Chain A
């Protein structure tokens, strides 16, 4: 490996084993999505915020560290490093986020985390019964809530009073409208749901709380990947994201034996055991934040419009962003059914 990467890893305290530096065969390049340094024509694009990751193997051959490698100018990695360093130093979250530190050279910035060896939730969630699934999601959201609370103390800029759901979703709705992605009546329906949601207490959200970023280890849930932490402060965003991604995975793994509808919103308004489990999980999270049923639906409208916008902005092929637009459209037309399904 290059002298720069080798020295950075040594400087980060990654044990080299027998030699002075890590052997080439102990470095696995993962999630290699964009060149570092960023190519000039990609600087201001989504691609420009990406890079590659590295899995470092210990001398016993087992993964010991996970490193994110990005250009020195990468603001998202700097943000994640600040968040994880602060949370890792707080005793309330020491058992929920991996110990993380950073090193950098002229060209490369590394975020180095201790490798969490447990079982990622995306592996276990597909085999859980509905009740065990609810328990697990509730526990995970409890951990996420603890992390958000701790962030309020260690990162004072992360939280700022109350937030209007309608105002927070404004840029997303404008984007969907300007790009002709949603029809005016669908946009009006979402807007109305957001208006009914009113104002809520801001709470920093993880922003990408999907099962692959949750690991069960030593009897605790560990959260990974804090790049988007605090970008969203509307409560229940993480809850809806976790419920939705779990539901997608469970449907996918059921394969041809499954009969669940393709769109998540259709599954959510159904009367299946899975739908009840989803609503129950969100209701528990909502109770913790003292949210009303209108605010639960408002949070859902915020979530689907935000995620549809973010995926479309990335500029990938149609199959990449279209399902999110379809979910947003489906939600807009299903809002009357949802109000009946939503726990009081």
Chain B
């Protein structure tokens, strides 16, 4: 009601799942280098959620909290994102959280994600928009021919808005949103018309399909 809701109210991180094309909701994997507020959301949608972290102690605490909240369908594992301890093609969905911030490790993780994802599954990635074209090419090379990109505002880890990175959608969104000054509105609409996606949105969410 009536004022900007504080960022501590951001709990809609898993709502991207409503935009994902998935026919089966059996098993999801979440790979994250830190505690993720997305696990509970995934556990509401999927029958089983496996979460992989690098830090064993943190993982244990996070898992205990989730179980205490009633999420017995969360299964933890401590591993490196580049060597995931799962068989080929077992997951319907893989959510790559902030693993994507380091470009080098990000590219190494993609083939591994493709390996464990079943045909018809979906890979989620939240990252910065810088290097988007290169990342899309890397995804294609790793076996994800279909990549759908969304601008995430204010950021991919607090996506209050997800805007398909298509000209009509960007224009529709920029006309709808109201910013702190009319001049900013004008400039952003100009950028939207020019298709300057990277300047408009610093964060992106990618949904990639094998």
Contact = CB atoms under 8 A, between A and B. Distances in A.
Interface string A57-78: 1000111000001000000000
A32 B169 contact: no
A29 B2 contact: no
B55 to A, nearest CB: 23
Interface in A301-331: 310, 316-317, 319-320
B9 A208 contact: no
Interface stretch (A47-55, A188-196, A280-288, A292-300): A47-55
Interface in A178-199: none
A52 B15 contact: yes
Contacts of B10: 33
B1 interface: yes
Interface string B158-169: 011111101111
B21 A2 contact: yes
A32 B1 contact: no
Given A2-B21, A245-B2, A32 B172 contact: no
Contacts of A207: 1
Contact of A2 (B19, B162, B168): B19
B2 A39 contact: no
Contacts of A24: 19, 21, 148, 164
A35 B13 contact: yes
Nearest to B22: A2
B15 to A, nearest CB: 5
B56 interface: no
Contact of A35 (B20, B44, B164): B44
A28 B71 contact: no
Contacts of A34: 9, 11-12
Highest count of chain B CB atoms <10 Å: which of A29, A36, A69: A29
A25 B17 CA distance: 15
A42 interface: yes
Interface of A: 1-5, 24-42, 47, 50-52, 55, 57, 61-63, 69, 108, 120, 122-123, 207-208, 210, 212, 228, 241, 245, 310, 316-317, 319-320
Contacts of B6: 316-317, 319-320
Q: Is the interface of A mostly helix, strand, loop or mixed?
A: mixed
Contacts of B159: 29, 32
Nearest to A69: B18
Closest 5 CB pairs of A and B: A61-B168, A32-B12, A29-B162, A25-B164, A25-B166
Contacts of B102: none
A65 to B, nearest CB: 12
A55 B12 contact: no
A63 B174 CA distance: 11
A156 B10 CA distance: 37
Interface in B147-199: 148, 150, 159-164, 166-169, 171-173, 175-176, 178
B17 to A, nearest CB: 7
B2 A210 contact: yes
Nearest to B165: A25
Contact of B163 (A28, A38, A51, A61): A28
A12 B20 CA distance: 20
Nearest to A31: B160
Contacts of A31: 160-161
Given A29-B16, A35-B15, 10 more contacts: A24-B19, A28-B162, A28-B176, A30-B161, A31-B160, A36-B12, A50-B9, A52-B15, A57-B168, A310-B1
B80 interface: no
A61 B178 contact: no
B104 interface: no
Contact of A36 (B15, B40, B173): B15
A206 to B, nearest CB: 11
25 contacts: A2-B17, A24-B19, A24-B148, A28-B161, A28-B164, A29-B15, A29-B18, A29-B161, A32-B15, A32-B161, A35-B11, A35-B13, A35-B44, A36-B12, A36-B15, A41-B69, A50-B9, A57-B168, A57-B169, A62-B172, A108-B18, A120-B178, A210-B1, A212-B2, A310-B1
A310 B1 CA distance: 10
Given A33-B160, A34-B11, A1 B19 contact: yes
Nearest to B41: A35
Nearest to B162: A29
Nearest to A319: B6
A197 B1 CA distance: 26
Contacts of A210: 1-2
Highest count of chain A CB atoms <10 Å: which of B10, B17, B18, B164: B18
Contacts of A37: 44-45
B161 to A, nearest CB: 5
